[in-house]
Chains A and B, each alone.
Chain A
């Protein structure tokens, strides 16, 4: 369907996302330190780094789940409000590393939730059910079905999300995120736990998303996936951005290899202050009252 080479946007690229000097501290732990990152329209940008490097934390800072200690995030030139629902409304949608679907809702309903920001029918119209409500509901359903077809889940529309196999759950997360008509899609390890075939299909899906004019920022540990997919790759190590560049540049950088293998290299970030543990599944957990 689409190849890396063929997909060059016609319009001159505009900056979609610009993160400047983003720092996130948890008490004494600096999970993300002065990270700058830009994503341009029509781009697929990869974010790599060893476990605990702060990639997910960085995502949470972008999407308003965390309020960064320092720094600024702008989306198409406007500063993002530090509220997740407003960020989504502005046009950034995301998936989660440890799948967070609405397990007891159907596949279709999950995607309909994604439509929430793009519809506005409130309680009154739900009770009165005027033509406006019915039209909006029908339009939402049509759009949701379209997205399910796009991700290849249309035959599962009435299944409970929890009953889907793992790979399809990841796809559903993407469909749900796309339902908010985003300008930028953030994917947190979209192929974790997938077999090579499913990974390949996800690659296709990400290209298809990009071809719809949606910029993509993707975290992944699967290097083949990343280097196939991305126009640009940034590598985070212990909260700091080590390198950024085309896949070839990053792939060739020995500091990246060293960071993954754990070998020290010249000018490595200071051991004492940086992130230490590797709790792989740390997330914006339930019960954070910030």
Chain B
């Protein structure tokens, strides 16, 4: 615990003066290079980068940046802002509270990577450097200058390895007024929505643009993290939890209105389904620490149950439940299936459990594949599945038709998007409340040390079974919507591993990548794992390979996931932001209470 008295205005611990950077440049020159490079990158985006519109995004027009150029502008602006934030520029101190060099370097790196990637992509796609217009050269030089300048800035370590981390110590923040804090959260939600809808809106054929976008997002996020802004933001979130959650949902509600194409709403609803199921899995894997490799089967059970009672003519039982009853049926079926699988397997630990759940997951898929009337009773229509699932009608609202709301056309998938969002909200609600309770604590205790947990009075089997059953039920709920969204239910998606989500491996990856035990983690993981294969169509057969490589890299460099699960208040402690308990109890009480005891 440090600096109780310092406020945001005092300069950071730069007092000792950091040493020279990797490149021996005078500080003013380095600063100038960063600013110049960033500006050049921005300016270049208003010039033509190539002569032909064959390259995705049409980068040929002077004055109208498009595609990769817009991304370069963001990188350039970020570089300039971070470059200025190191100096004592009024109004920018919040951007880089520690006045560190790392965020400047990473912002410059984002500009560099985006511009160089763009130039390379143009040269490779169109066959040669001759296809580059002057604008591209300006961009490339700008990106390089910014990067070189950033490397010349004074740095505490002076080794390249030290440029990627965040400061150990952030000066204590002077918190803005509460309404301003809320405004900040709102802005961040809007920004996230903007980034998401921009990313999802990139044409599926414009893989180059999407890669550039992904590169920018990665390095910009890295820069923000290195500046300590994520830490600050999660602190704000912890202060206004309800508000922040509300804003996140509001942003999600706004999403369909940002899209003119119902195809993107389809992506959106699939991402939501995937994310919701991952959140359910997070109870099992993230909180309770049970490695479940067959989880997607519960999604399948829910989807099949809903399909069977949907009134489709291919359903073996010809009844049509109202949707609420179908949703309950799906949940109940998954619950029963979860308990049936869990009861015998949860006595096993670790690897044994993983293997057995993997087996059960496959058993489900193979069973529904064979319940076709020839190799077994006719229940699921075998590999053909149950198709022609009718659209939902709730309170006279037909989900299959587009509706006009306030001048926006809300298509079929957007309708389902809203329905699914409601279900996601339910799952988030259940997850949060369950996690923060006696039962949630006992899940975490089991994860931490099962022997000690049972010795403290926790009935391990029972508690694990509850987690397993709850996870299954929530997946089943998501399954009921997914059956209607896709019109038909077939066995193939419910496998262990495949090139496209959802499958058990991708679900697990979403949880682990995103961050185990958190709400945002699995959802973010789901967004990434759904969007990236979708937008990088050219990978085709190499998708799984790329997925594997990405997993290995992430586990090497950020094993805790993108959003690490740190307990809210604890963050304050470990960064020295708040000294709550120290102030809370004067030392005198210690002796007194102890003597009484």
Contact = CB atoms under 8 A, between A and B. Distances in A.
A102 B567 contact: no
Interface in A1-40: 1
A176 interface: yes
Contacts of B456: 85, 88, 93, 113-114, 116-117, 176-177, 180
B439 A122 contact: yes
A105 B581 contact: no
Nearest to B454: A84
A63 B455 CA distance: 7
Interface stretch (B157-165, B201-209, B444-452, B492-500): B444-452
A150 B570 CA distance: 23
A106 B567 CA distance: 8
Interface stretch (A155-163, A213-221, A246-254, A271-279): A155-163
B458 A158 contact: no
Interface residues of A, number: 57
Nearest to A212: B597
B448 A102 contact: yes
A103 interface: yes
Contacts of A208: 594, 597
Contacts of B556: none
Given A113-B453, A114-B457, A155 B350 contact: no
B130 interface: no
Interface string A80-117: 00011100110001101000111111100100111111
Contacts of A176: 456
A100 B581 contact: no
Contacts of B540: none
Interface string A144-165: 0000011010111111100000
A281 interface: no
B585 A1 contact: no
Contacts of B459: 83, 85
B470 A123 contact: yes
A105 B437 contact: no
Contacts of B573: 158-159
Contacts of A63: 455
B580 A123 contact: no
B393 interface: no
B437 A126 contact: yes
A64 B297 CA distance: 36
A65 interface: yes
Contacts of A113: 441-442, 445, 453, 456, 458
B595 interface: yes
Contacts of B442: 113, 116
B438 A126 contact: yes
A200 interface: no
Nearest to B446: A102
Contact of A94 (B455, B466, B589): B455
A94 to B, nearest CB: 6
Contacts of B83: none
B593 interface: yes
A41 interface: no
A275 to B, nearest CB: 22
Interface string A168-212: 000000001100100000000000000000000000000010001
Given A113-B445, A159-B573, A212-B597, A119 B451 contact: no
B349 A289 contact: yes
Interface residues of B, number: 45
Nearest to A153: B590
A261 interface: no
A286 B350 CA distance: 10
A121 to B, nearest CB: 5
A264 interface: no
B433 interface: yes
A127 B433 contact: yes
Contacts of A136: 438
Nearest to A106: B567
Contact of B594 (A121, A152, A156, A160): A152
A244 interface: no
Nearest to A128: B433
A140 interface: yes
A137 interface: yes
A82 B571 CA distance: 41
A101 B452 contact: yes
B569 interface: yes
Contact of B350 (A103, A115, A129, A287): A287
Given A85-B457, A116-B458, A180-B456, A137 B449 contact: no
A138 interface: no
Nearest to B453: A113
Residue with the highest number of chain A CB atoms closer than 10 Å, among B460, B573, B580: B573
B582 interface: yes
Residue with the highest number of chain B CB atoms closer than 10 Å, among A127, A137, A160, A176: A127
Interface in B330-347: none
B173 interface: no
B250 interface: no
Contacts of A122: 438-439, 466
B256 to A, nearest CB: 29
A284 interface: yes
B434 interface: yes
A89 B457 contact: yes
Interface string B336-372: 0000000000001110000000000000000000000
Contact of A149 (B349, B448, B455, B590): B590
B440 interface: yes
B337 to A, nearest CB: 18
A111 to B, nearest CB: 10
6 contacts: A112-B441, A116-B442, A149-B594, A155-B585, A160-B570, A180-B456
Given A129-B433, A150-B593, A285-B451, 20 more contacts: A1-B594, A65-B451, A65-B455, A84-B455, A85-B457, A85-B460, A94-B455, A96-B452, A105-B448, A112-B438, A117-B457, A121-B439, A123-B470, A149-B590, A154-B581, A158-B580, A159-B570, A160-B567, A176-B456, A289-B348
